[in-house]
Amino acid sequence: MRKTCLADDELAVPAAGKRPITLGIGAVYKDKPYRGYDDDEKTSFLPLVLFEGERFFVRGSNVGWKFVNTNPWEVAIKGEFWGDGYDNDDANILEGMDNRDPSFALGGHVIWKPQKFGLSFSAASDVTGNSDGTQVKGTAFYDNRVGSWFYRASGGVVWNSEDYIDYYYGVENDEVDLNLGRTAYEGDDETWVRLGLVLGYQRPESKWMFLVGTRYDFMGDEVDDSPITSDDKMFMGFAGFGYSFGK
């Protein structure tokens, strides 16, 4: 099993100024598009970590430093964990393949948020030497709070470099297995459409926070045409809770 991340930019809790450190746990469901992907591999339990300081932040799988933090702009450098990949026993079609490992990427983002509506642009590249890939994201989002409830709805596009697509969805010549219908395949760069929603609940006097969220990726032909995939869509959801220290 390759662990996915509990939260990323699209699934992160809407920040409202500074936030004390929040630690918790969450259940993550991720239905990767690999053909015959084992149901037992779709769910995992992972820690939830959130913190929002004047400069430093931790937003799920993202950690960074804001060197511009003046309303309505946020400009930051950051690192992010990409929980992609698989073990070759995660599905029959993957037997005999080399494992594909998760990656850690470095990059940055620019966020413009005058009020509830905002826009973000980010770019990051793998620095682990696994995929050597790059992702560039453009996202529009809407934050709102009603009493103890808060939510973020988002939509945008994700450009994935050729190295990223080829590493996670390609098939090398020495991985070909015609008995499984697995032919050689080399992916190209591709742009996906991504929709996300996160809903949370925390009473003003309470240290406990509860979260649920979902994300849906509409992939393209570069993923769909791979002999190891059966779909060009990917669904991800999570539910979790955390305790806010110092609140």
Q: Distance between CA 77 and CA 201 in Å, rounded?
A: 29
**CATH number of the domain residue 86 falls in:** 2.40.230
3-state secondary structure of 91: coil
Cα atoms found within 13 Å of the Cα of residue 17, Cβ hemisphere only: 0
- Is residue 9 domain-resident? no
The 10s digit of each residue's pLDDT in 213-244 is 999 999 999 999 999 999 999 999 999 999 99
Place 102 in a pLDDT band, splitting at 50, 70 and 90: very high
* Domain-located, residue 10: no
Which residue range(s) make up the domain with 116?
A: 19-244
Phi-psi region of 118 (alpha: psi -120 to 50; beta: other; left: phi over 0): beta
In residues, how long is the chain?
247
Is there a domain that residue 2 lies in?
Answer: no
pTM: 0.91
* Number of structural domains in the chain: 1
Read off the pLDDT of residues 54-101 as tens digits, 9 standing for 90 and up.
Answer: 999 999 889 999 999 999 999 999 999 998 999 999 999 999 999 999
- Tell whether 4 is covered by a domain: no
Percent of the chain with pLDDT over 70: 93
Confidence of residue 40 (pLDDT cuts 50, 70, 90): confident
What single string gives the DSSP state of each residue in 136-195?
EEEEEEEEEEETTEEEEEEEEEEEE-HHHHHHHH-B-GGG-BGGGTB--B----EEEEEE
Rounded Cα distance, 63 and 50, in Å = 9
Does residue 112 surpass a pLDDT of 60? yes
Q: What is the dihedral of CA 171, 175, 180, 182, to 10 degrees?
A: 20
Residue 14 included in any domain: no
